[in-house]
């Protein structure tokens, strides 16, 4: 069972291939959003002397994250799945963050305009990801009695938790966490793949302004 795993949500473009659940190839670049994604896929396949035909599944981070990176990554993933007629596993940024350190935890990410994406992952499960003002979420975290970890994709919250050892800023989704999140996530098929879009979660700023 070979799985191709793509993450174009942030400054690092990550391409991984797993064989029977363990990592067998990787190609990670820090570059402009996902511009070299397909070359990276080719490189990763070449290192294990595989071809796209050998892939059984594709997993891709669908967001939230970089608008253009995700458009490129999700389009690449769903087109590959469409041509190869294989299932696709959508991965959510905050779930991958949570998979990197274990639960319970709070996962965070800047959503622009003083807002953030957040989710509270308890030992028994995850709360739905939501959007709220950064101040509100900070206050909620400070009053959480069970707090053990605060994981952020980016470093917006750094100064809100100075010296707090539970806080960790991450500039990329770690490969191990991507693989782990992939094992826990369900796959989609057929028409669901074609209609897959990135999780932008919020309307674009233009639309927000227009609806005022």
Partner 1 sequence: MLILGIDTSCDDTGAAVVEDGHQVRSNIVASQYEAHERFGGVVPVIAAREHTANISFIIESALETARISFADLDAVAVSHHQGLMLSLVVGVSAAKSIALACDIPLIGIHHLEGHIYSNLMGRSDELHFPFLCLTVAGGHTLLLKVVSHGTYELLGHTRDDAAGEVLDKVARHLNLGYPGGAAIEKLAKDGNPHAYSFPRPLMNRPDGEFSFSGLKTAVTAAIDRDPDLNQADLCASFQQAVIDLLVSKTMRIAQKHQLRQITLAGGVALNTPLRKALQHAAQEHEYQIFTPPRDLCMDNGAMVAGAAYSLYQERGPDPLSIAALANAPLGKTGIRYRHESKYK
Closest distance of CB 119 from partner 1, Å = 23
The whole-angstrom separation of Cα 78 and Cα 136 is 36
Q: Which residue in 39, 46, 135, 171 binds partner 1 (CB under 8 A)? A: 39
Selected range binding partner 1 among 18-26, 130-138, 168-176, 194-202, rule: CB under 8 A: 194-202
| Cis bond before residue 104 (omega within 30° of 0) | yes
Q: Which residue in 75, 115, 164, 169 binds partner 1 (CB under 8 A)? A: 75
Residue 83 in contact with partner 1, rule: CB under 8 A = yes
Query: What is the total count of residues that contact partner 1 (CB under 8 A)?
Result: 37
| DSSP codes joined into one string, 172-202 | S--HHHHHHHHHHSPPB-HHHHHT------S
Residue among 209, 178, 154 nearest 89 (CA): 178
Residue among 190, 204, 201 nearest 87 (CA): 190
Nearest residue (CB) to partner 1, 41 versus 141: 41
The whole-angstrom separation of Cα 201 and Cα 179 is 24
Selected range binding partner 1 among 97-105, 135-143, 148-156, 200-208, rule: CB under 8 A: 200-208
Residue 36 in contact with partner 1, rule: CB under 8 A = yes
Nearest residue (CB) to partner 1, 86 versus 170: 86
| Sheet of 22-30, strands arranged across | 22-30, 12-19, 2-7, 57-63, 88-92
Residues binding partner 1 (CB under 8 A): 34-39, 41-42, 51-53, 67-68, 71-80, 82-84, 193-195, 197-198, 200, 204-207, 210
């Amino acid at each position: 069972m070979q799985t191709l795993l793509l993450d174009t949500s942030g400054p690092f473009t990550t391409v991984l291939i797993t064989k029977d659940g363990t990592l067998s190839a990787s190609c990670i670049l820090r570059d402009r959003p996902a511009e070299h994604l397909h070359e990276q896929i080719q490189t990763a396949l070449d290192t294990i002397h595989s071809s796209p035909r050998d892939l059984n599944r594709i997993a891709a981070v669908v967001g939230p994250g970089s608008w253009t990176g995700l458009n490129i990554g999700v389009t690449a993933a769903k087109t590959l799945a469409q041509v190869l007629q294989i299932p696709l596993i959508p991965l959510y940024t905050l779930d991958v963050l949570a998979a990197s350190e274990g639960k319970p935890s709070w996962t965070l990410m800047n959503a622009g305009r003083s807002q953030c994406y957040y989710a509270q992952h308890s030992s028994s499960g995850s709360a739905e990801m939501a959007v709220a003002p950064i101040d509100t979420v900070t206050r909620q975290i400070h009053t959480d009695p069970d707090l053990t970890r605060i994981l952020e994709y980016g470093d917006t919250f750094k100064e809100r938790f100075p010296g707090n050892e539970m806080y960790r800023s991450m500039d990329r989704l770690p490969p191990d966490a991507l693989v782990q999140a992939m094992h826990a996530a369900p796959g989609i098929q057929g028409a669901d793949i074609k209609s897959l879009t990135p999780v932008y979660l919020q309307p674009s700023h233009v639309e927000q302004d227009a609806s005022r």
